[in-house]
């Protein structure tokens, strides 16, 4: 089977960097997302630059009823599926706007469960493949500043953990990627601490290396592992007094 990457969330800054990295390593690429005409130029660029096949497909994580058809109709069967869809949203607004809160759940969690379950079943039968989910350090502990987004990421992280456990005997690798701060559209306008912030290209390198080395959980930057370890260890009585 030829090597093919399916990128769910092709308009994501992190996702497109991952697509560029895999294409540079010889992977054919299926770019999937909403208003897919926006990534026609990325598709042409990848084909010309790296001499790989590219396809552009419409995909909306919230349209569950379309997922089976999307899965069945793909032009190539992927070896690697990356879920890079997400919605941070206005976390204060989401406290009083249930539709926004639900959209955050759908993009980061339930949409992922719906579509990735289909690939998990295929890969398990085939006994090969990798599923890579871009979760977040925000899922490691609910914090007052972003617990709606964080709880969706926590769900996604737990889903990927269970999937990895289930698929281990069939040789299918599941990687949970937990970025800290990455400069993208999602973080535009935020004051990010430079030593804790990375770029989509550096994250894409880390994701490809994790794929090659069949890693399971990747923190990026790696120092986030220690930071989140400390945050997770804080007793609740102390934690509720912090401004995190
Ligand atoms: N940037 C960070 O600091 C950071 C940190 C930790 C984790 N992450 C995670 O990394 C992933 C990529 O984010 P990013 O930083 O690259 O942000 P981004 O450029 O804003 O990408 C997010 C993408 O998700 C897509 N999306 C949202 N809801 C969707 C839906 N229902 N169906 C299909 N696509 C949908 C958006 O598509 P449209 O263009 O159509 O809106 C957008 O392209 C996300 O899961 C994010 O939570 C990011």
Q: In what order do the strands lie in the sheet with 4-8?
A: 54-58, 28-33, 4-8, 80-83, 130-134, 173-179, 217-220
Please count the helices (runs of H) and the strands (runs of E) in the chain: 9, 9
What tens-digit pLDDT sequence spans the chain (244 residues)?
569 999 999 999 999 999 999 999 999 999 999 999 999 999 999 999 999 999 999 999 999 999 999 999 999 999 999 999 999 999 999 999 999 999 999 999 999 999 999 999 999 999 999 999 999 999 999 999 999 999 999 999 999 999 999 999 999 999 999 999 999 999 999 999 999 999 999 999 999 999 999 999 999 999 999 999 999 999 999 999 999 8
Please provide residue 73's backbone torsions phi and psi, each rounded to the nearest 5 degrees. Answer: -90, 5
- Residues 6 or more apart whose CB falls under 8 angstroms from that of 236 comprise none
The atom of ligand 1 lying closest to the CA of 183 is 1
Query: Ligand 1, atom 11: nearest CA belongs to which residue?
Result: 84
Best mutation site among 6, 7, 8, 9 for ligand 1 pocket (most ligand atoms within 8 Å of CB): 9
H-helix or E-strand containing 220?
A: strand 217-220
Q: Against a cut of 0.95, is the pTM above it?
A: yes
The atom of ligand 1 lying closest to the CA of 137 is 6
- Show the ligand 1 pocket: residues with CB < 6 angstroms: 9, 11-15, 33-35, 59-62, 84-87, 106-108, 111, 134, 136, 179, 181-182, 184-187
Domains of the chain: 4-239 (3.40.50.720)
């Amino acid at each position: 089977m030829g090597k093919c990457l399916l990128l769910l969330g092709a308009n994501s800054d992190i996702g497109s960097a991952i697509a560029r990295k895999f294409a540079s390593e010889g992977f054919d690429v299926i770019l999937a997302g909403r208003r897919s005409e926006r990534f026609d130029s990325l598709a042409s660029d990848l084909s010309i630059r790296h001499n790989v096949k590219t396809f552009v497909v419409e995909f909306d994580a919230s349209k569950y009823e379309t997922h089976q058809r999307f899965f069945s109709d793909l032009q190539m069967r992927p070896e690697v599926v990356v879920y890079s869809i997400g919605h941070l949203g206005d976390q204060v607004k989401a406290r009083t706007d249930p539709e926004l809160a639900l959209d955050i759940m759908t993009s980061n969690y339930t949409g992922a469960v719906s579509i990735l379950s289909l690939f998990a079943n295929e890969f398990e039968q085939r006994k090969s493949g990798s599923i890579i989910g871009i979760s977040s350090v925000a899922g490691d502990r609910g914090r007052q500043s972003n617990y709606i987004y964080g709880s969706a990421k926590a769900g996604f992280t737990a889903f990927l953990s269970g999937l990895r456990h289930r698929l281990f005997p069939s040789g299918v690798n599941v990687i949970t990627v937990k970025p800290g701060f990455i400069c993208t559209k999602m973080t535009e306008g935020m004051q990010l601490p430079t030593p804790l912030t990375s770029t989509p290209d550096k994250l894409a390198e880390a994701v490809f290396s994790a794929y090659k080395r069949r890693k399971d959980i990747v923190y990026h930057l790696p120092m986030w592992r220690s930071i989140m370890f400390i945050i997770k260890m804080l007793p609740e009585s102390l934690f509720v007094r912090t401004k995190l």
